[in-house]
Amino acid sequence: MSGHSKWATTKHKKAIIDAKRGKAFTRLAKEITVAARIGGGDPEGNPRLRTAMLKAREENMPMDNIKKAIQRGTGEIPGAHYEECQFEGHGPKGVAVMLKVQTDNKNRTVPELRTIFSKNGGNLGENGCVSWMFDQKGMISLEWPGATEDKAMELALETGADEFRLHENGIDLITSPADFSTVLESVKSRKLVPTFAEITMIPQTSVHLDGKDAQMMVRLMEALEEHDDVENVWSNFDIPDALLEQLLSGNP
């Protein structure tokens, strides 16, 4: 779990940098458009759209951009038609990798993803090859150095989380997808600021990596997340925190 949690926190920090380049806005707009197309343009009756809009506001996306993305989804204004796809594959040492992709040209995206996998010690597989290793859950990560099990359990009970997981720098609260928004609001009402909060795919087991395998896995994750059509990447790798920080800093 440590690798998953650590990468999730790092991805949140990276999103702030991406936002400055406009990349995060593009991905958020795609998600809002797809959510509106599937479930309608009213966030009150569309939980997925409501969550996407909340994330967009947290990244300071202008309301005009959000409104236009919704209108593209509902067909009120013209725009690209994004198809939502799931892809699965393996990284070094058989690490499981799942992708959520939103693309307007699947015939272009698939070979590009296959190339990224092959260049970084992995391979793109068939749908279903690794998805059975993951559970869809809400995850809210909090920096809380020195947190005790009793304190973490107390917070989980008070906020309505299903479970908690202690790690080196804090805790993760785990929820069902349906309860995620309620638990998140409860956390924020206590003046706690999550380092990561979203409905995600949590691996049931993990694969320990070090050395060259760890280095190659980080390159694969970064390359996949850099692809414009990739909305989310999930994996079950477990790289020691110190090594992961070193690799992410660009000092292998």
Alpha-carbon gap, residue 96 to 131, rounded angstroms: 8
Q: Model-level pTM?
A: 0.75
Instruction: Choose one of 203, 219, 236: the last residue of a domain.
Output: 203
106 part of a folded domain: no
User: Is the pLDDT confidence value at 242 over 50?
Assistant: yes
16 part of a folded domain: yes
Q: Average pLDDT in the 52-68 region? A: 87
Alpha-carbon gap, residue 28 to 68, rounded angstroms: 12
User: Is the pLDDT confidence value at 126 over 50?
Assistant: yes
pLDDT above 70 covers a percentage of the chain that reads: 90
Burial of 101 (0-12, 13-18, 19+ CB in 10 A): buried
User: Is the pLDDT confidence value at 110 over 90?
Assistant: yes
Q: Average pLDDT in the 55-74 region? A: 87
181 part of a folded domain: yes
Q: Which phi and psi angles does 199 have, rounded to 5°?
A: -80, 125
- 142, β-bridge pairs: 171
- The model's confidence at residue 21, banded by pLDDT at 50, 70 and 90, is low
User: Is the pLDDT confidence value at 250 over 90?
Assistant: no
One-letter amino acid for residue 187 of the chain = V
Instruction: Choose one of 179, 203, 227: the last residue of a domain.
Output: 203
Summarize pLDDT for 193-236 with one digit per residue, the tens. Answer: 888 888 889 999 999 999 999 999 999 998 998 898 888 899 99
Q: How many domains does the chain have?
A: 2
pLDDT of residue 28: 85
DSSP helix/strand/coil, 197:
strand
pLDDT of residue 136: 93
One-letter amino acid for residue 16 of the chain = I
Alpha-carbon gap, residue 83 to 97, rounded angstroms: 20
pLDDT of residue 1: 44
Average the pLDDT over each of 11-15, 63-67, 134-138, 147-151 and give the range with the smallest value. 11-15
User: Is the pLDDT confidence value at 7 over 80?
Assistant: no
Summarize pLDDT for 135-168 with one digit per residue, the tens. Answer: 999 999 898 877 889 989 999 999 999 999 887 7
**What is the CATH number for 151?**
3.30.70.980
Average predicted confidence (pLDDT) for the chain? 86
Q: Average pLDDT in the 109-117 region? A: 96
Alpha-carbon gap, residue 91 to 216, rounded angstroms: 8
92 part of a folded domain: no
pLDDT of residue 16: 45
Alpha-carbon gap, residue 14 to 9, rounded angstroms: 9
Tokens of 20: 């400055």
61 part of a folded domain: yes
- The model's confidence at residue 84, banded by pLDDT at 50, 70 and 90, is confident
Residue 73, Cβ neighbours under 10 Å: how many?
27
14 part of a folded domain: yes
228 part of a folded domain: no
Q: Average pLDDT in the 59-77 region? A: 87
- The model's confidence at residue 2, banded by pLDDT at 50, 70 and 90, is very low
**What is the CATH number for 25?**
1.10.10.200
108 part of a folded domain: no
2-21 and 211-226 are packed helices; what angle lies between their axes, rounded to 10 degrees?
40
Give the domain extent around 12. 2-74
In the chain the first and final C-alpha atoms are separated, in Å, by 22
User: CB–CB of 146/187 below 8 Å?
Assistant: no
Alpha-carbon gap, residue 220 to 159, rounded angstroms: 36
